[in-house]
Amino acid sequence: MLHRVCIFCGSNVGVDPDHVEAARTIGKLLSQSGIELIYGGGNVGLMGAVANACLQHGGRVTGVIPQALADKELAHQGLTRLHIVRSMHERKALMAELSDAFIALPGGFGTWEELIEVLTWAQLGIHGKPCALLNVNGYYDPLLAMADRAVAEGFVRGVHRGLLISDTNPARLLERLGSHSPAPPTEKVTRAAPEP
């Protein structure tokens, strides 16, 4: 059962209004399901939208933000809890520690990096928490295609490709995360063939 879900998402809203609507929907669903939102602590972009929606429906929201971003007045002041940390590394580590699962909504480099890091940790067996994409209007289709190509090219094992869950429907995605069973990590590494 999920108690806390970490959302990675953009500090901008983007140009597609469906991205904002998806953030609001998942925030509302978390609240209605009694699941605490863990996120990056910002009051802007999709980050602010998901946090505000969760709070508006009576949910609990914990933010984790580095001091440098808090100093720029980007920290949300209405959260259930706000952790101010020293660095981005501490932020990601604490968010991962606090969460039972991870969902990436649309976002940019920071969102992708956060998702890929926790996905890599799952691959290595550092945690067994599910990692997912809310694929709004095909936003993450190129990333999913890249993951499939990495399998075809021999850089990602099929069992590890299965660690990345994707869905277009927020409610269905939360259900899938709640019933997820992690695949056991594999440790086999293919060595480079010796040169003739």
- pTM higher than 0.85: yes
- 56 pLDDT above the threshold of 80: yes
Q: Is 73 domain-assigned?
A: yes
Segment 91-136, tens digit of pLDDT? 999 999 999 999 999 999 999 999 999 999 999 999 999 999 999 9
pLDDT at 1: 85
The CATH code of the domain that includes 66 is 3.40.50.450
Q: Is 161 domain-assigned?
A: yes
Its domain, for residue 43, covers 4-178
Cα separation, 84 vs 87, whole angstroms: 9
Q: Is 193 domain-assigned?
A: no
Residue 20 φ/ψ, nearest 5 degrees: -65, -45
Q: Is 150 domain-assigned?
A: yes
Total tally of structural domains belonging to the chain: 1
pLDDT at 74: 87
